[in-house]
Every structure is written in structure tokens, then in C-alpha cells.
Amino acid sequence: MSFQLQAFKAYGIRVSATEQRMHAKQRMLFQIAAANTDTALDLSAITAGALGTFWTAAVADAVYGNIANQALTTIRQIQLILVDTGILPTGVITNYVQVLSGAAGNQYTATIQTNLLPNIAWVSGSAPTAYFIELESLIHDGQEPITTAGDLGAQL
């Protein structure tokens, strides 16, 4: 098995608003299935013609590829309005420990890339096989968050 993006959801959270501006956060939720040897969760590799390991597998999947394509299009729009990104520990990821380097066993490394999207690296053989990833980002003042969802019955 290779990566499958089984569900995706993007929505905004209003932080504060004044008469002139709205301040908001963008949230993105990913429901992912993979083999325990699928280690390169390179969510930041979204450039057309140069997709990373995750997106290449996800968009090619016969069952969930349409969801991944919709998510990829949305993320390309979202990354243009981001100020910063944080990875919120949810689901299976809470059973793993983030380390700066040299991950082993139930550990992972996560780095935020220049496009403000993360790359997560699991350890082969102990990577989770079904998990949720939640990203929360500040967006530029006055920008509206982007809202979309795609799934085949999964509930996010």
C-alpha cells in the first residue's frame, strides 16, 4: 500500500475582527492511510511537475485520487495566504514523539518548509498506518480562510 488521502477538510477560525480587518486562522485536516514503511509525508511538495512522495501516491490512488487532487488544489491556494504553520497533535500522532533528528521507533521529525507547509518523516517499519494530521496557520490580515472538504464517507 502507498499513501492514501482518505479525507481532507479546510476551514477558518475567526480570531478577532475590527471594522477594517478580520484576523483569522486556517485549519487543514488530513485523514491518511499508509503502509508502516511509508515514511515521507512531504505535505509541502506541491509544485506541479515536482510532487513529493506523498502527493504523487495520493493523487494516483484509484479510490481516493480525486480527493487528493481536490486537496492539492486547495492547499496551493491556502499556502499563498499563510503567515505561519503549526502541527497540532491529533489522532495517532499523539502516540509518537517529535524529535529534532535521528528518529527511531515511534518518533518522527517535522520541519516547516519555505512555503509554510510541513514535511513529516516517520521511521520505516513503525510509521502509523491510519492517522489524522491537523495543521493550523495564521493567515494574512484581511484574508478570508478557504473552506472545502472531500471524502468518501469519512467524518472529519
* pLDDT tens digits, 59-69: 999 999 999 99
Burial letters 57-94, b for 16+ CB under 10 A, else e? bbbebeebeebbbbbbebbeebbebbeebebeeebbbe
- pLDDT for 23 equals 74
How many Å separate Cα 96 from the centre of its chain?
17
What pLDDT does 62 receive?
95
> What pLDDT, in 10s, does the model give residues 25-47?
899 999 999 999 989 999 999 99
- Residue ranges per domain, the chain? 4-151
| Band of residue 81 on the pLDDT scale cut at 50, 70, 90 | very high
pLDDT of residue 5: 96
Identify which of 69-78, 99-108, 139-148 has the greatest average pLDDT. Answer: 69-78
pLDDT value of residue 116: 92
Q: pTM surpassing 0.85?
A: yes
